[in-house]
Structure 1
């Protein structure tokens, strides 16, 4: 029993820690229930798609895809062109996705090929690759847009006549959320709570969940699972491991493109050159907080982790202000935890991996010894 408890605590240490932190934050801050639930619901709708985009590369043994900012950049380019063309609402969102998809496919293919040359170091490679691509993204937006590529909407162009402004107000703001939006009023513990339910956005997230479940059952899904478990055995069985790994990154990058579009249409503004910076970190932290690891992740991990991680984002500044009188203390604390969660999860994965290798080595040695004893006895 003690061994099972220790294993459970080791497996779910990060979620348990975050539940304790969020619980303590709520007790200290005492935020209004209506504010807490409303803000959490908005953040769940805004961020869930991006977090779910990380699952398929983990299935293929690629670890956490810290290269999803490449997909986010593709989505942002699509939104910038749509803003220039003046297309609004759902049509603008669909057109932005249409523009961003081929860019995301190209970037995902490029990223996957690079990662195949850095086996065993995919996560750090994808992270550095996103920084490299950011330079190309800035070059494209700062110098090509408005000069080589004509733009009609001069409001989004810098005063020098080329280059995109730092911040843009999106014409597609709330285009998906407001397509079918219900308000639900009810009371909890005597306090009135108002929920806004963007039905279409939630349906899009649900469709992605169904797609992931279906995808795992397809042949390519089984192939990815096999490659994720053992590349050598999969290669010997006739699977093209390089191609399968690239496919997982391409799918993740395209989904990240769509996720960033959903995220930005919910916010309504685009931070042109830094909007994608935290996409990978916050999505990865949310997934890990939900109890996932870099080798195993599921839809419940993504949904529960997104809720728990963003609950901390809501309560920590208020808790910091209640304790010290300065909300920035809570900001610093949650930033520290964001990076800390990823670090702890990676350390624990390395420890568990090393432990598993050592256990397999001991079992192999014991099996070899038994075979030797049996051979001598015969």
Structure 2
């Protein structure tokens, strides 16, 4: 790789590099121990990552940055109010809330998709204005309809007049930490039952369709699932899995073990059994990297952080599940259709793809995922700001995605997670740094709000700049490409990223 290519890659990652530098400087200026910063950061990663990952599908479908996810957040908050009023608690209450929010989010996503199809090329500004319009209807629902039209007799939720909902709702006795506190033992049990149900259901479907069944494979899968479940009855294992939090050190060691076992098993399967060519250097490099990461855990400062931070297992599994879903979706026919639409609507039409329906489907996915992400956010916070919890969802999630190196036309899981890490590191330490440097924490608050809006403005300006550069002086009066701001369907997106 020559010097020019290296410089080009560094220039492409300029936003990420800038925020890495800002985070390092503000951490130093804040004078806070790394254990505090790391603990707060992993809490925010669990709280916000799902919302940011919900933005990826519309980007790949050529609809730009979905400011309309605020409408998905509203669907979640309506469901939270209803289940809180009815008194459902714990993980059961959380699942019921998600069940109520999903059809509302599907309906809202369908309407948003229909509107965006009428505003092709201006989806982002349309989504931003739509969020303000929907907020007005949301305020009407909570200020007048609840209590005024729909009688609700609940002094804990309603204001003294009985018409309108209180400004803040405490979720302590309902769904607070309902997902974060699910024991690992329960997760394993649920996983076992899901695997068994999937195997049995698959066999029944094949029997009905009169297709051959691989009984050997099904039996092996059942035996393996049963063996894993049986291990949980060992007292030491059961005691370990009874916890709902996993020490970060154990999580890192488990990840390293999985990587090493997977790479070795993959190598043996392809090289020894199937006699196929294997990239030995790549396999060796991954194994060496995993070993080096394990060696780093012995550094005292790193070890101190690893034994201080505890991760809510269920929440992080949901985040990992969404990353996997985004990756798998892009490999399906629907995902390929979305990518084709995002690269060029003209080409997609010529290929026989129903562009409008594909865009609506992408928006429904994003809205439903955003509603679930808002539920994860609210159960982690533990309080529900009735009229303000949703207002900044779109801006902060989009800013985090852009900080990770994403653009209007390209976004990946890695960029989303990296963006959450950098953006929320700055959110944690900026007020503390402002207090240390200027004696006023509000300066740090103003700075981080300025950064969130500034990153969005910078990304949109750079996107427009690239469009102008690609048109060039020789085509100054040529018609603009189909992927204007928010449309993302120009041919330049042909190399757009996947969700993985």
TM-score, length-normalised on structure 2? 0.70
Change (3 A) 1:322 1:147: same
Q: Which one has more relative contact order, counting CA pairs under 8 Å at least 6 apart? A: 2
Q: Deviations over 1:248-296 (max 9, x none)?
A: 1111000000000000000000000110011011100110000000100
**Cα offset, 1:141, TM superposition:** 1.3
Equivalent positions of 1:61-140 (< 5 A) are 61-140=62-141
Decide whether the 8 Å contact of 2:153 with 2:162 is kept in 1: no
CA distance in 2, matches of 1:6, 1:285: 25
The change in CA–CA distance for 1:127 and 1:357 in structure 2 (over 3 A counts) is: same
In the other structure, the counterpart of 2:384 is: 270
Shift of 1:34: 1.4
Deviations 1:332-352 (Å, cap 9, x if unpaired)? 111111111111111111112
CA distance in 2 between counterparts of 1:295 and 1:287 reads 12
Q: Report whether the alignment pairs 1:208 with 2:325.
A: no
Question: Which of residues 412, 425, 435 is equivalent to 1:298?
Answer: 412
The match for 2:393 among 273, 279, 297 is 279
Which SS does the other structure have where 2:147 is aligned? Answer: coil
The corresponding residue for 2:178 is: 175
Partner of residue 341 from structure 1, selected from 445, 448, 455: 455
Partner residue in 1 for 2:247: 184
**Is this contact kept in 1: 2:248–2:311, CA < 8 A?**
no
- Seen in structure 2, the aligned counterparts of structure 1 residues 360 and 287 have a Cα distance that, compared at 3 Å, is farther
Contact 1:85 1:153 (C-alpha < 8 Å) held by counterparts: no
Secondary structure in structure 2 of the residue aligned to 1:162:
coil
Structure 2 distance, partners of 1:298, 1:361, is 32
Q: CA RMSD in A?
A: 1.9
Counterparts of 2:247 and 2:34, CA distance in 1: 15
Deviation, structure 1 residue 13: 1.2
C-alpha distance in 2 between matches for 1:132 and 1:185: 43
State the alpha-carbon separation in 2 of the partners of residues 253 and 359 from structure 1.
Answer: 40
- Structure 1 residues 359 and 106: alpha-carbon distance in aligned structure 2, compared to 1, 3 A threshold: farther
Provide runs of 4+ in structure 1 moved above 6 Å: none
- Aligned-partner Cα distance in 2 for 1:249–1:10: 31
Deviation at 1:10, TM superposition (A): 2.9
Task: Tell whether the 8 Å contact from 1:317 to 1:328 is kept in structure 2 after alignment.
Answer: yes
TM-score normalised to the size of structure 1? 0.92
SS class of match (1:194): coil
Instruction: Output one character per residue of 1:29-72: Cα deviation in whole Å (capped at 9) or x when no partner.
Output: 22111111100000000000000000000010000000100000
Asked if the contact 1:182/1:197 (under 8 Å) is kept, the reply is yes
Partner of 2:264: none
Task: Provide the residue aligned with 1:14 in structure 2.
Answer: 15
Q: How far did residue 191 of structure 1 move? A: 4.8
Q: How many residues align?
A: 363
Tell whether 2:48 aligns with 1:47.
Answer: yes
What is the alpha-carbon distance in structure 1 between the residues aligned to residue 473 and residue 405 of structure 2? 23
Contact map agreement 2:248 2:310 (CA 8 A) in 1: no
1:331 aligns with 2:437: no
Q: Deviations over 1:51-107 (max 9, x none)?
A: 000000001000000010000000000100010010001111111111111111111
Work out whether 1:309 is the aligned partner of 2:423: yes
SS in 1 for 2:330: helix
CA–CA distance in 1 between the matches of 2:329 and 2:471? 30
Q: Any conservation in 2 of the 1:290–1:301 contact (CA below 8 Å)? A: yes
Residue number in structure 2 paired with 1:321: 435
Structure 1 gaps, min length 5: 365-378
For residues 5-42 of structure 1, the C-alpha deviation after alignment (integer angstroms, 9 at most, x for no partner) is: 44223311111110111111112122111111100000
Equivalent residue, structure 1, for 2:163: 162
Deviates more, 1:253-262 or 1:156-165: 156-165
Q: Which residue of 2 aligns with 1:288?
A: 402
Paired with 2:384 and 2:58, the residues of 1 have a C-alpha distance of 27
